[in-house]
Amino acid sequence: MTHSENMLFGMGNPLLDISAVVDKDFLDKFGLKPNDQILAEDQHKALFEEIVKRNKVEYHAGGSTQNSVKIAQWMLQKPHKVATFFGCIGKDRFGEILKKKAEEAHVDAHYYEQNEEPTGTCAACITGDNRSLVANLAAANCYKKEKHLDLDSNWELVKKAKVYYIAGFFLTVSSESILKVARHASDKNKIFCMNLSAPFISQFFKEPLMKVMPYVDILFGNETEAATFAKELGFETDDIAEIAKKTQNLPKENTKRQRVVVFTQGKDDTVATVGDRVTMFPVLDIDQNDIVDTNGAGDAFVGGFLSALVQEHALEECIRAGHYAANVIIRRVGCTFPEKPDYH
Question: Mind telling me the catalytic residues?
Answer: 299
Give every CB contact of residue 344 below 8 A, 6+ residues apart in sequence. none
Cα gap 110→124, rounded to integer Å? 25
Q: Please tell me what DSSP assigns to residue 146.
A: I
**How many angstroms separate the CA atoms of 168 and 205, rounded?**
9
Name, in order, each residue with C-beta under 8 angstroms of 73's C-beta and a sequence gap of 6 or more. 8, 80, 81, 82, 83, 105, 106, 107, 307
| Among 184, 185, 264, residue whose Cα is nearest residue 220 | 264
72 neighbors 83 (Cβ within 8 angstroms): yes
On the CB side of 221, how many CA atoms lie within 13 Å of its CA?
Answer: 29
Cβ atoms within 10 Å of 78's Cβ, excluding its own:
8
Extract the runs of DSSP E, i.e. beta strands, from 141-296: 163-167, 191-195, 218-222, 260-265, 268-274, 277-281
Rounded Cα gap, residues 50 and 45, in angstroms: 9
